Structures are given as C-alpha cells and as structure tokens.
Amino acid sequence: MMELNSTIIVKDLVEKTRLDIFLATETDWTRSQIKQQIDSGKALVNGKIQKAGFLIKNGDEVTLSFSREELSAQPEDIPLDIIYENDDYAIINKPQGMVVHPAPGAYNHTLVNALLFHFEKLSSGSNNIRPGIVHRIDKDTSGLLVVAKNDAAHANLASQIAEHTCFRHYLALLEGNLREDTGTITTYISRSEKDRKMMQVSGSGKIAITHYKVIQRYKDYCLTEFVLETGRTHQIRVHAKYLGHPIVGDKTYGLKNQKFNLDGQLLHAYKLELTEPRTGKRVSYECEMPVYFKNILKKQENNKISD
C-alpha cells in the first residue's frame, strides 16, 4: 500500500489555484489519482473537506491522508551505459526513448528495471518504483543521471539539487536563432489545463529558472547550452518554446512540421557537476552526444554562421 500523509502550507502562488492542480505539482500522484483521493475526503483544506476544483491561496493548510495500492519494479537485463560508479552513486548515460521509472503506461523496460538488475544495492527512493532515482530526465531526452546506491548518498545528492549546487548541463538544437548569446529565463511553470501531460508558462505554479548560452549558430538553427537552476517537469522544452525557438524534434512543444525524421527532441544532458557525498570533493562527468544528434549537426556544417 502506497501512502502519503503530509501537511502542506501553501506559499509562492501568484493567484488562487485549483486544489487538484496544486497537488499535482506538489506530489508524484497523477491528477486522476488525486481527484479520487479528494473525492474520498482524504484532502482537507484548513481542516475542511473540499472538492477538487476548490481554489486555494497562500497561507492555506492542506492535509493529506492518501493511500493506494503500490507498484513494484522488477529487475530486467537491459544494457546500461555506466559512466562512473563508486559505493555511493553511479552516473548513467540514459538513451533516448527510455522511461526513468515505472508509471501508468510504462511499467517495464525502464531505467529502474535495468538498475535493479545491474546493482546489488540502491537507495530506497520515495517508493518501490523509484529506487536510486535522485532526479529524472524525460523519456525522449538522453544523457546523464546520478543514481544513489544508499539512503545517505540519496539524501545528500537530493539536497545538492534542491540547493542548486548540483549543476545539470544540456545541449539542444533550437529552431531558428536566439536574439541574445546568453541569458536567463525566469517564469512560473504549471500543468496545462487543456492537456494534463503538458506543462506551460503561466502566472502561477512553481518558479522555473534556466540559464542559456548559444554555442553555435547556423542558418536555420542554433546549438545552445542550457543549465538548470530549478528542475521542473519539461522545463527546458517549455522555456525553449517560450523563447519562440522550440527544440528540434520535440513532438510535444515543437513545430508541427518537423524537417528531420527523429524519434524525439535533440536535447542531451551532456554534463553533470556535483559534490561527492562521502569525500566532499567536487567532481564533473561528461558524455558525448548521441550519434543521431551528431549526424544532424554534420548536415549543418555548411550553414554555420561565423562570429
């Protein structure tokens, strides 16, 4: 049985927000699961039972007593690209197309299934379907993840991400050319009310901060480095769209008519900087771009724009 017993003091809202939408951003539960729990009287606002559409505001106290049947992940012999490992953590280069952990619609063939097969010990994570998972990247995004092998390392690494001392660097090929060579995008991001699988820049939700730097300009594209300060769902993809230059190959936030036949967005987490939990040493790990990403860049060699 999966349980969530928690009290949340609402803060940082720009405007009043539906209870179910707020909880979808504050928890790992889906909106349908949240609505079911709310309808069962398992979410109280200031001590009173409320409906899913009840508008909450800053200062409200939300008390949860959620429960559901818990999933469990099983080991699967799936190849892993292990960049580095020690007794506390491993650095994994996740391929495009792999889901990080089991979820509705993807219970098998995930990174977690592979981790359970390859490693004897992993941190307990937040539940049985996320052992070792400190942070995530999207299914169709490739690149580096740090995986915790014990709970002490997990807590330390999670704290680094929360305190913005673990730096996650991405490379993306954007449609068109950004006006500025460098910049910082600061917005609020929330779930789209039109499509719950999508996120959007809005006047409410969670603060999202992304730094960017143009690496190479081409006639119709620009290769750009992004560094996350916060880690919201789909953050880079949403911010790229917000700038008016979505990521090439992004079937959710990108152009409807894609020029290249790609399986997903050209977004790669190529560098990860962190502090080793045990030694306190500052370390950095990198991995190469996937072949399909390199091939697209090769096709643009003759279209480079000189400085």
**Closest by Cα among 165, 177, 188 to 215:** 177
Q: Single out the catalytic residue among 138, 151, 181, 195.
A: 138
Tokens 């917005």 correspond to 187
138 is catalytic: yes
How many residues belong to the chain?
A: 307
Number of Cβ atoms within 10 Å of the Cβ of 58:
13
> Helices (DSSP H) in 177-285: which residue ranges?
235-242
DSSP for 126-189 reads: SSTT-TTBSS---TT-EEEEEEESSHHHHHHHHHHHHTT-SEEEEEEEEES--SSSEEEEEEEE
Q: Are strands 142-148 and 267-275 parallel, antiparallel or unpaired?
A: parallel
CA torsion sign for 119, 122, 128, 134 is negative
Active site residues: 138
